[in-house]
Amino acid sequence: MLVKEIMNTDVKTVSPDSIIQKAAKKMSKHHVGCLIVVKDSRLVGIVTERDIMRNVVAKALDAKKTKVKNVMTKKVIMVDPERDVEDAAEIMTEKKIKKLPVILHDKVIGIVTAMDIVTAHPKTIEQIGKLLLLPKKKAVAG
């Protein structure tokens, strides 16, 4: 199964100069956990609920004054729509991220989330669950 088969094409975006309060309201309105940050139709970052929690709330910054560009993640990990879903899952696991923008010809055409993969691949998730439930081997002193 390919990323393009499970990705969400209704990508919500925000400007880097938008204020965090506006971004948070947009996330809440659309029931999404992140917004793709675009400038001149190009991806320049991603802002997630976690970014807002860590970089605004935890630091007691004013969400009405703090700009998205000061909070967003600038090094965005992306995926090609023709990649296998298992590759996307591997990237997410390796990079410890839950959301991957899908890029084609330098344009955001979708987003795939860990939940999208779980929904599309219940058998794979079942196998991983079994692996996680295996008893751990005790280290042998030598």
Domain spans, the chain? 3-133
Residue 65 has pLDDT above 80, yes or no: yes
Q: What is the share, in percent, of the chain residues with pLDDT greater than 90? A: 63
Compute the distance between CA of residue 118 and CA of residue 28 in angstroms, rounded to an integer: 22
What torsion, rounded to 10 degrees, do the Cα atoms 49, 54, 59, 64 define? Answer: -20
Give bridge partners of residue 39 from the DSSP assignment. Answer: 42
Q: Quick one: pLDDT at residue 103?
A: 92
Of 102, 108, 107, which Cα lies nearest the Cα of 82? Answer: 102
Strand arrangement of the beta sheet that strand 13-14 belongs to: 13-14, 34-39, 42-48
Q: Quick one: pLDDT at residue 120?
A: 78
Tokens matching residue 67: 């700009």
Name the one residue in this structure whose structure tokens are 């998205």.
68
Whether this model's pTM surpasses 0.95: no
- Please state which of the four CATH numbers 3.10.580.10, 3.30.70.980, 3.40.1390.10, 1.10.10.10 is assigned to the domain occupying 3-133: 3.10.580.10
